[in-house]
């Protein structure tokens, strides 16, 4: 099988990672990749790591999206607000995977509150399946439209899903999550400029992060979720990686070995979830599609630690994992990405 692919928004970090992964995918043929401000430039001129690997050039986005019936799959790696304007115009036979937040939330008012804009395509939103592969695999397999999860949401949901599915949580959950600077995008901003961030550490968007409603929305689909969620995000002085510490109180005492066994059973068919002794480390998952999970317990208190690469499992890697399922491929295809040491 050859999957003819178009990437909208190929100049950012998400687009760069899609290109890096799909160039090695045995079933992928990238027909075109857009980047309006770089139209006409070689892809390898913008993404130097791809030098010598492709002759593709960036193009402007086609004006007539309705004519793209010969494309099998479209990835949107655009800023929030742009996919909702374009995805509904695509032919129904074209499968769509959106890496932005445009189609993750089913409530228009919640979307407007957290993204600061009105949703213009709620009719189309109802066609999108939430793309957390490990919890929604069956629905993704038959989907034509997938909303890829946010990076923080991925790290948090993978750490909470088994607990919610087994109805083990007794009170509020506190998530202390930290991310590298690449999560802020390829264009420099005041708070992501290297001299500002390299030796710094700070919290941002307390109680207001846009990934909170999608986390709670998905947890309610997994099991009984009526708990209070306190979710805090922090800026790490590294380029890649998310590390989440998830603090829970359970309805019963659970030693770390029992927690690990329960998680392992829940993720028994999930190759990209790995379990470690003690704490994971973002260095072990960088450039890979793995989520590493560790545990610490004291009586009824449980801390779940998760680590992912925000650009791979938190974005492009999970998007390709979903594409594989949508086209009937083994979900590991093209994603056997090995990390580095150190």
Distance CA 215, CA 105 (A): 10
Nearest-angstrom CA–CA distance, 237 and 215: 25
User: What span, in angstroms and rounded, lies between the C-alpha atoms of 127 and 306?
Assistant: 30
Q: Looking at the DSSP assignment, which residues form a beta bridge with residue 307?
A: 243, 292
Distance CA 278, CA 112 (A): 39
- Centroid of chain to Cα 286: 14
Catalytic residue from among 73, 151, 248, 291:
151
Query: Is position 151 annotated as part of the catalytic site?
Result: yes
* Matching residue, tokens 């309805």: 251
The pair of structure tokens assigned to 185 is 């995008």
Residues 323 and 26 sit within 8 Å (Cβ to Cβ):
no
How far, in Å, CA of 76 to CA of 315, rounded?
A: 11
**Which structure tokens are listed for 206?**
């307390």
- Which of the residues are catalytic? 151
């Amino acid at each position: 099988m050859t999957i003819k692919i178009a990437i909208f928004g190929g100049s950012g970090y998400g687009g760069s990672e899609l290109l890096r992964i799909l160039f090695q995918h045995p079933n992928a043929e990238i027909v075109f990749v857009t980047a309006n401000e770089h139209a006409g430039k070689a892809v390898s001129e913008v993404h130097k790591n791809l030098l010598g690997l492709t002759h593709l050039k960036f193009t402007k986005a086609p004006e007539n999206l309705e004519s793209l019936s010969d494309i099998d799959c479209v990835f949107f790696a655009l800023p929030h607000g742009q996919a909702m304007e374009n995805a509904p115009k695509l032919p129904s036979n074209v499968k769509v995977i959106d890496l932005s937040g445009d189609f993750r939330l089913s409530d228009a008012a919640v979307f407007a509150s957290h993204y600061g804009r009105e949703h213009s395509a709620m009719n189309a939103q109802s066609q999108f399946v939430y793309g957390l592969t490990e919890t929604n695999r069956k629905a993704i397999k038959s989907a034509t439209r997938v909303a890829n999860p946010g990076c923080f949401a991925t790290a948090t949901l993978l750490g909470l899903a088994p607990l919610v599915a087994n109805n083990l949580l007794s009170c509020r959950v506190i998530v202390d999550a930290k991310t590298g600077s690449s999560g802020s995008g390829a264009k420099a901003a005041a708070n992501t400029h290297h001299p500002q961030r390299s030796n710094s550490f700070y919290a941002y968007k307390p109680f207001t992060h846009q990934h909170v409603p999608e986390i709670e929305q998905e947890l309610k689909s997994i099991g009984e979720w009526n708990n209070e969620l306190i979710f805090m995000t922090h800026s790490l002085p590294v380029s890649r990686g998310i590390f989440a510490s998830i603090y829970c109180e359970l309805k019963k005492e659970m030693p770390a070995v029992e927690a690990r066994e329960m998680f392992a059973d829940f993720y028994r068919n999930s190759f990209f979830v790995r379990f470690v002794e003690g704490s994971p480390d973002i260095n072990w998952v960088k450039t890979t599609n793995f989520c590493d999970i560790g545990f610490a317990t004291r009586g009824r208190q449980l801390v779940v630690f998760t680590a992912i690469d925000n650009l791979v499992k938190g974005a492009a890697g999970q998007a390709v994992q979903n594409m594989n399922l949508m086209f009937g491929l083994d979900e590991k295809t093209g994603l056997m990405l090995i990390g580095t040491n150190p």
